[in-house]
Amino acid sequence: MSDVLRSKAASRITKRCGDASVRQPVAETLDAIGDRMGKVIIITGAASEIGQGICHELAQAGHTVYVSRRETNDRSVHRAKRTEADAGKPGGDLRTIEFDVSSEASVNSAIETIVAENGRLDVVLHNSGQVVYGPAEAFTPEQLAEIYDANVLSTQRVNRAALPQLRKQGQGLLIWVTSSSARGGSVPFLGAYASSKAALDALALSYAGELARWGIETTIVVPSALGPGHYVRSGRPADAIRAEEYADGPTADVSEIALSGLAELSPRDPASQEVASAIVNVVDMPFGQRPLRVHFGPDDDGAAVVDAVAERIRAELLRRIGLADILKPTIIG
């Protein structure tokens, strides 16, 4: 075993949680001759800026990364091609695979291919999502269903395809990239997006408890509030007439006030490189030491405070009903 590998095995990483930093030891997985073994990882939402950063950082860290992408427009195609180009860089093992998270058959086929090529799957990273902005009433039921499909149901398709393999292995990791809007202070015109992220957060928490005895860990990554520019570039309600009524009525100044206020609190979106590094840190942590939730960046909307209270209540409830053991994953075998 080389001195470099020994150094890596003894290295430490920093997990950011709000403004606090907690240093954790990194446990390397080594093969029979002492070489580092990377994890096999599938990532959704790789075409986004944060997704690209995550893919690159994990591949450079020595993991085998499978990219899931939906080529829905020219912009996402360009980003996906840039991500694919990273696969040829030294130290990276980034593999693209046709994978449509809106199709159960496509998801099942992709997971089967990954397991066939590697004999295992270690990490499922949910990063796909659609951001929308506008009066809740102006989103049609069909449009809201599309948002929930992209932000929530897509994760269920992936989980149902991947979890049988992870449960068979007796070990695995689910990482969910959510949003501070799920628990933070409610901002007008973000209801459609925030409600989908709240649903995702609730689903992730339920999975955390249900999978703990199977040896599968859960980490929910919560980036800080997005900058106003992100919402300006996001999707809009399909019912333009209803949206105009809000724009011309007593709520005419609400959007401008809200976006101006957000600009003062969060002048820019979370740096994709920093979010990606935080996720790599979680992946490289030893089994049983990964946090259930990681808040990244300043807590301008109070989400970290709300989550801290909610986690204490959840832990107390599980202890009272006799399920304290599912607060931590079980070591299988």
DSSP letter at 153 equals: I
List of domains in the chain: 3-327 (3.40.50.720)
- Predicted pLDDT at 176: 97
Return averaged pLDDT per consecutive 10 residues of the chain, 333 residues in all: 33 32 37 59 89 90 84 40 50 83 96 97 94 94 96 97 97 94 85 94 97 98 72 82 96 90 66 83 95 84 91 97 96 78
Question: Which residues fall within 8 angstroms of residue 50, CB to CB, at 6 or more apart?
Answer: 127, 177, 223, 270, 272, 275, 276
Structure tokens of 205?
A: 């928490």
pLDDT of residue 22: 33
Model pLDDT, residue 275: 83
User: Where does residue 229 fall: left (phi above 0), alpha (psi -120 to 50 degrees), or beta otherwise?
Assistant: alpha
Q: How far apart are CA 303 and CA 280, in angstroms?
A: 22
Bridge partners (DSSP) listed for residue 315? none
The pLDDT of residue 14: 30
Q: Rounded to an integer, what distance in angstroms lies between the CA atom of residue 115 and that of residue 280?
A: 22
- Comparing C-alpha atoms, which of 177, 173, 192 is closest to residue 296? 177
For the sheet with 123-126, list strands across it: 93-98, 64-69, 40-43, 123-126, 172-177, 216-223, 293-296
pTM recorded for the entire structure: 0.83
